[in-house]
Amino acid sequence: ESPARRAPGSSRGLCLISTSPSTNGVPFSNAVLWLDPASIVRRFPVITDAVGFAETSLALAPGTTGLQLWAQYVMRNAPQCPAAGV
């Protein structure tokens, strides 16, 4: 497993849900946001487990069949993470 694909253990962050992706990526602190910032519809606080994984459940309302959503986790850095910022 590549460390770039896993957040630091016991880190706080957000799961962002949007109705549209960003095709070029949007700079966001020291990360790249691959969601269109104008289309973000939900933000969920998350905490990773001891090995750096997080899971988020999303209940969908009736009548949302065929709705496309995009999600991205953004984690705050912990001391063991090499990047600075978010």
* Model pLDDT, residue 1: 39
Using alpha carbons only, how large is the chain's radius of gyration in Å? 14
Q: Are 13 and 73 in contact (CB under 8 A)?
A: yes
Render pLDDT for 2-54 as a digit per residue (tens, 0 to 9): 344 678 888 889 999 999 999 899 988 777 899 999 999 999 999 988 888 88
**Are β-strands 12-18 and 70-75 bridged in parallel, bridged antiparallel, or unpaired?**
antiparallel
Measure the CA angle with vertex 78, ends 77 and 79; round to 5°.
120
Q: What is the pTM of this model?
A: 0.78
* Model pLDDT, residue 75: 85
Strands laid side by side in the 12-18 sheet: 40-47, 12-18, 70-75
